Amino acid sequence: MSWWRTIVRAGTTASMLLALTVASGCSSDGDRSAGPTPAASDVVASSAAPNLQPTPNLVVRNDLAEVFAQAGTTGTFALHDVTGGQLTVVNQSRAERPYPPASTFKIPHSLIALETGVVADENEKIPYGGKPQRIKEWEQDMGLRDAVRVSNVPVFQEIARRVGPEREREWLRRLGYGNTEIGTVVDRFWLDGPLAISARDQALWLSRLARAELPASAAHQRLVRDILRLEQRDGYTLYGKTGWTTATEPGLGWWVGWVERDDRLYCFALNLDMTRDADAPKRVATGRELLRRLDVLPVG
């Protein structure tokens, strides 16, 4: 996986610079995917569009690594307390390392689909292609809401082909998402790479979507936020999306999203090692436990 080592090396260098900047400013789902690996020549390290947000104060909580250990895995967690201007990370080096976003890319991809007009609205049925799928639930045409809910890969591959490589690149740069690279395979770049993003940058990027601060229609941002809403109770609202890529070794699972509670906004991103289907529930379970320990979600 020479292409993957290229991304990691580039991401590590960029992360070291980011870490120095921060330090100077403060003391089941069905989204697993595998496919042909992009060539190393398809991967070009590049910076995302400039993010002019103030750099949040960094707090490292490696004591919370025990939550991953208790789940029998290794991972990282980044929590951006947007209201308080603080970024809390567990396993800082990994929090700053870019990985393919897998199905968490359905968040910006939904916005891109709406902004480019390749999907008229959340109700338009997008064809899955008629071929047998690994997950039976994917074998039907779906609107955006259901496609995100069941993480329908072939539906979003159809969206990518409609958008096309030039507009995908343009919108990744405009939105400032990850390393903004799509390589040469327009319907797999978020599953296998070369697109990559770190947990840290996922959390920071989501804070812009949650506040409708992305360079896109406010109405479309509002719709995407509504599609991502998972639950609303006990004084908080939780939004989120999982992901799973087998392009890395070991495989990697994501859970990203945000919590609105008591007029505060907390954006988070978790990734952890996954080697089998039975590991899939660990993403949300581990993330919820970390959110409880950090007093973002209520205990119980």
What value does the mean pLDDT take over residues 164-185?
A: 98
Provide the 10 A C-beta neighbour count for residue 233.
8
Residue 103 is a catalytic residue: yes
Q: In order of start, what are the domains of the chain with their CATH numbers? A: 2-293 (3.40.710.10)
What type of residue is 216? A
Name the pLDDT band for 128 (thresholds 50, 70, 90).
Answer: very high
Name the pLDDT band for 54 (thresholds 50, 70, 90).
Answer: confident
Residue among 229, 238, 245, 256 nearest 192 (CA): 245
Task: Calculate the average pLDDT of the chain.
Answer: 87
b/e per residue, 198-207, with b = 16+ CB within 10 A? bbbbbbbbbb
- The 8-class DSSP code of residue 63 comes to G
More confident residue, 171 or 14: 171
Supply the pLDDT for residue 15: 42
Q: Is the dihedral of CA 34, 166, 109, 78 positive or negative?
A: positive
What value does the mean pLDDT take over residues 206-222?
A: 98
Q: What does the CA dihedral 200, 75, 160, 80 come to, rounded to 10 degrees? A: -30
C-alpha to C-alpha distance for 93 and 271, rounded to whole angstroms:
13
pLDDT at 23 over 60: no
Supply the pLDDT for residue 39: 33
- Beta carbons of 3 and 38 less than 8 angstroms apart: yes
Supply the pLDDT for residue 109: 98
pLDDT at 26 over 50: no
Helices (H), the chain: 2-25, 65-70, 92-95, 106-116, 144-149, 153-163, 165-175, 189-192, 199-210, 218-228, 282-293
More confident residue, 291 or 17: 291
pLDDT at 42 over 90: no
pTM (2 decimals)? 0.85
Structure tokens at 55: 């750099």
Q: Which one from 28, 33, 46, 103 is the annotated catalytic residue?
A: 103
What value does the mean pLDDT take over residues 101-108?
A: 98
pLDDT at 30 over 70: no
pLDDT digits (tens, 9 = 90+) for 239-255: 999 999 999 999 999 99
Supply the pLDDT for residue 300: 74
Supply the pLDDT for residue 108: 98
pLDDT digits (tens, 9 = 90+) for 186-207: 999 999 999 999 999 999 999 9
For the chain, percent of residues with pLDDT exceeding 90: 81
- Beta carbons of 191 and 100 less than 8 angstroms apart: yes
What value does the mean pLDDT take over residues 14-35?
A: 41
